[in-house]
Chains A and B, each alone.
Chain A
Amino acid sequence: NAGVTQTPKFQVLKTGQSMTLQCAQDMNHEYMSWYRQDPGMGLRLIHYSVGAGITDQGEVPNGYNVSRSTTEDFPLRLLSAAPSQTSVYFCASSPRRVYNEQFFGPGTRLTVL
């Protein structure tokens, strides 16, 4: 099992550009989520999904879109990048039975200039 994979590892964008951060898991987990981590801060939840076709907002959803067309994939879209979105983004998944015990991907470091 590859676990939770994220691409790309690093990305630099200009203000106003759009892009998609990819996340995939091969553990057949129902629950997937996206977090961002800023310096000196804990992880903050952006969006989450409890299964294919179902998504919901977390603590900091503004400026981001998600969709869940399959169990395996949960992409995060930045519609119009802003410097405030410079952060490290982590995708996580877990089985619904113990959804708190999440498996995290290695992260994507995003810089918006």
Chain B
Amino acid sequence: DQQVKQNSPSLSVQEGRISILNCDYTNSMFDYFLWYKKYPAEGPTFLISISSIKDKNEDGRFTVFLNKSAKHLSLHIVPSQPGDSAVYFCAASNSGGGADGLTFGKGTHLIIQP
């Protein structure tokens, strides 16, 4: 049973437009959420995170929104740039449950079209 779901395997967006990547989770114990970016043949890189006490966190072109009642989060990238083409993983953790790692979604491949 997947606890973190990214239902779009891929997403194509024009350069300069907004990219919106979505993520749903089922485990109510999750209280910390992260987005990682991964290029081919490299390890994932931490991008941005949000605690369950917030509903929005912004870092430059990247904004993460959290809707706890819907168990949904999204990553907005504005404006999208060619270097944003990568696989994006949503991840979640239960920080109160100890340091037992992250639960990842399957990823969304974002393609920025020139």
State in angstroms the CA–CA spacing of A44 and B89 once bound together.
12
Partner-contacting stretch, out of A13-21, A62-70, A75-83, A102-110 = A102-110
Does any Cβ of B come within 8 Å of A40's Cβ? yes
- The answer to whether B102 and A102 have CB atoms under 8 Å apart is yes
- The answer to whether B99 and A31 have CB atoms under 8 Å apart is yes
Which residues of chain A in 66-113 are interfacial with respect to chain B, using CB atoms and an 8 Å cutoff?
90, 92, 96, 99-107
- The answer to whether B95 and A100 have CB atoms under 8 Å apart is yes
Q: How far is the CB of B94 from chain A (nearest CB, A)?
A: 10
> A42-B104, A44-B104 given as contacts; is B99 within 8 A of A104 (CB)?
no
Q: How far is the CB of B45 from chain A (nearest CB, A)?
A: 7
The interface residues of chain A lying within 8 Å CB-to-CB of B9 are 40
Which residues of chain B in 23-78 are interfacial with respect to chain A, using CB atoms and an 8 Å cutoff?
32, 34, 36, 41-46, 49
> A43-B44, A103-B46 given as contacts; is B104 within 8 A of A96 (CB)?
no
- The answer to whether A105 and B43 have CB atoms under 8 Å apart is yes
Does any Cβ of B come within 8 Å of A26's Cβ? no
- The answer to whether B44 and A106 have CB atoms under 8 Å apart is no
Select one of B34, B43, B101, B105 contacting A4, CB under 8 A: B43
Q: How far is the CB of B46 from chain A (nearest CB, A)?
A: 5
State in angstroms the CA–CA spacing of A107 and B41 once bound together.
8
- The answer to whether B32 and A100 have CB atoms under 8 Å apart is yes
State in angstroms the CA–CA spacing of A56 and B97 once bound together.
13
Number of B interface residues at 8 Å Cβ cutoff, please give it.
26
Q: Which residue on chain A has the smallest CB distance to residue B2?
A: A42
State in angstroms the CA–CA spacing of A39 and B57 once bound together.
31
- The answer to whether B46 and A102 have CB atoms under 8 Å apart is yes
Q: How far is the CB of B110 from chain A (nearest CB, A)?
A: 15
State in angstroms the CA–CA spacing of A101 and B99 once bound together.
12
Extra pairs beyond A100-B102, A102-B46 (8, CB < 8 Å): A42-B4, A43-B44, A45-B101, A48-B99, A56-B100, A59-B101, A101-B46, A104-B36
Ranked 7 nearest A-B pairs via Cβ: A104-B43, A42-B104, A45-B101, A43-B104, A42-B106, A101-B46, A104-B44
